[in-house]
Structure formats: C-alpha cells, structure tokens
C-alpha cells in the first residue's frame, strides 16, 4: 500500500478494519518431515508437515514471496537456512531471509519494502523479547501490520514467534508452576492478535496455570494455549481453525466470579473461580469476540 493511499484512510476507519490477511500461530516443534515424536506416532490423524504445508498452501499469487525472519533465534543463520530448505521442498521457491538483529535494521527501507511485497512471512522460534525489543515501533512492523490489514498475506510464527504475535505477551514464567503471583511476566507483543494471550509448548511443558495467571490479571483477554505441532489459523482477525496433531486450550476469564490476584503479595498462590475452558482438536473452530479483535493503530 502506498503512502498516499494510507493517508486517505481516516484514522477512525483504519482502527476498525477487518484484516484481509491471515495468521498461522504455531505451538512450536511443528513437524518438518523428520521422524515424528512418540506422541505423534500414536495419533492416527497425524499428517507429516501438515502445518508448514498449510502455510505454503495459503500463499497467494504467482511465484509468491516468502520472507523468513529468524530474529528471535540465537542461531539465526542456521534457523533461516532450515526454513528456506523446508519451504523449497514444499514447493515455495521464492524465499528470502530478513536477518534483522538490530533496531536500525528493522527500519531499513529495503527490508520494509521486502515485507510489503511478501505473500507470506515466517517468524521463527527463539526469544520473543528479541522480537518485541527489535521490531516494536519499527518501520518493518508498521509495514507488516498494514500489509496484514489490507493484503491477502499469511503471517506465521512458531514458539517464540507465535507468543510474540499476541498482546498481552507472556515472556517469562516458571513452566512447572505459575501458580505463585509474580511467577509470570507479561508485556506488549507485536499485536497482530489483540486481547489474546498465546502460550506455546502448552501441554508438554505444563503451562496451563501460568496462562491462567496472565488471564486473571485482565479477564477481558482470552488465553490460547498451543500444544507442539499444533497451530491456529486466524482469519478476519478472530475466526480460529485448529491445524495439526495436538490440542488447543482456550482459557476464557470473562466469567470469573472471584480472584484474589490483586490482593495477595508476590510469592503467594492465587485463586480464580468461574473460569471457562475449551479443548479443541484438529479442524475445530473458535470465534474470538468481535470487540477483542485486531485494530490497526
């Protein structure tokens, strides 16, 4: 979208836009065609490379451009190379890497133009704070949000790349616990999925309580826990379809009748009553309430 066209859109309308793009938010360790996990072997509905195939199938246009962003990874070159090879093997031949490691690089006009021209963007795993601290407020992030709002693009993230796509964003917590106030730390994510907290490796690492604590601090938000090799495909800013071999857990705090999270001190266990929870398998659907959905700032 050109600068001139963006300026013709009134702010009041731009903030209410229903995005034309789609999100593929992955719980980590998505199958890449190698040996399936033991859990996957026992799942008669397991499909090899199902999630990454879905990403490629969702690409639009002739010879669509895929941009891999390995910023979250401690080994960005290797991580990016792996995804380039995987996407090539799945039939996506036009794949480029945006190896952004600093905030000035996130404002590089060439990289801004690269993401504007992308049909698909892939955020790899690693550390979600690297993504928010480097891309927050950057020209690249502005370009990606505008592209997501007005273009039929698919933006994917796995593990840390998935957690960073939501707001609020969990960036630290005791995986084995989270029942103690103060165990869970939350900040602002990249805000592709607003008012929804995403947690990954959800059942494998026992993160249900830490996600619940995050929701108790603001019950208007929805919590979505993604198991490994499991993803949600989000269309129109909040229509959710489950993809992959595991389960998606939805924690809905809107009906909370009682919580002591604001009254107890750090280090004390918290209480929550009246929570609702949904467990969703492959191809199941869920709709995020309209007032919680994406808004273009």
**Catalytic annotation on 159?**
yes
- From the list 30, 146, 228, 241, the catalytic residue is 228
Domain residue extents for the chain: 3-292
Q: What is the pLDDT of residues 206-236, one digit of tens each?
A: 999 999 999 999 999 999 999 999 999 999 9
**Catalytic annotation on 88?**
no
Tell whether the model's pLDDT for residue 3 goes beyond 50: no
Tell whether the model's pLDDT for residue 157 goes beyond 80: yes
Whole-angstrom Cα distance, residue 201 to residue 206?
8
Looking at residue 176, its pLDDT comes to 58
**Catalytic annotation on 42?**
no
Q: What is the pLDDT of residues 230-269, one digit of tens each?
A: 999 999 999 999 999 999 999 999 999 999 999 999 999 9
Confidence tier at 202 by pLDDT (50, 70, 90): very high
- From the list 30, 49, 73, 159, the catalytic residue is 159
- From the list 50, 201, 227, 282, the catalytic residue is 201
Domain spanning 3-292, CATH architecture: 3-Layer(aba) Sandwich (3.40)
What is the model's pTM? 0.92
Q: What is the pLDDT of residues 32-61, one digit of tens each?
A: 998 777 777 778 888 899 999 999 999 999
């Amino acid at each position: 979208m050109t600068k001139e066209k963006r300026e013709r859109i009134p702010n009041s309308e731009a903030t209410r836009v229903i995005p034309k793009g789609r999100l593929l938010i992955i719980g980590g360790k998505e199958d890449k065609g190698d040996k399936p996990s033991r859990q996957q072997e026992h799942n008669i509905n397991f499909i090899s490379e199902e999630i990454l195939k879905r990403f490629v199938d969702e690409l639009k246009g002739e010879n669509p451009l895929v941009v891999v962003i390995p910023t979250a990874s401690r080994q960005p070159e290797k991580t990016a190379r792996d995804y380039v090879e995987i996407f090539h093997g799945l039939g996506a031949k036009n794949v480029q890497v945006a190896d952004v490691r600093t905030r000035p690089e996130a404002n590089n006009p060439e990289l801004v133009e690269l993401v504007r021209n992308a049909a698909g963007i892939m955020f790899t795993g690693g550390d979600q704070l690297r993504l928010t601290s480097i891309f927050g407020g950057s020209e690249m992030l502005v370009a990606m949000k505008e592209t997501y709002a007005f273009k039929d693009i698919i933006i994917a993230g796995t593990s840390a790349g998935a957690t960073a796509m939501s707001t609020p964003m969990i960036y630290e917590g005791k995986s084995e616990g989270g029942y103690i106030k103060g165990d869970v730390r939350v900040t602002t994510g990249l805000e592709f999925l607003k008012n929804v907290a995403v947690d990954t490796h959800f059942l494998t690492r026992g993160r249900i309580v830490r996600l619940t604590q995050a929701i108790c601090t603001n019950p208007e938000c929805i919590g979505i826990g993604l198991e490994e090799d499991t993803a949600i495909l989000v269309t129109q800013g909040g229509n959710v379809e489950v993809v992959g071999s595991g389960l998606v857990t939805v924690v809905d705090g809107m009906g909370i009748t009682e919580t002591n999270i604001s009254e107890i001190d750090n280090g004390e266990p918290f209480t929550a009553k009246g929570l609702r929870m949904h467990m969703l398998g492959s191809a199941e659907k869920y709709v995020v309430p309209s007032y919680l959905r994406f808004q273009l700032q």
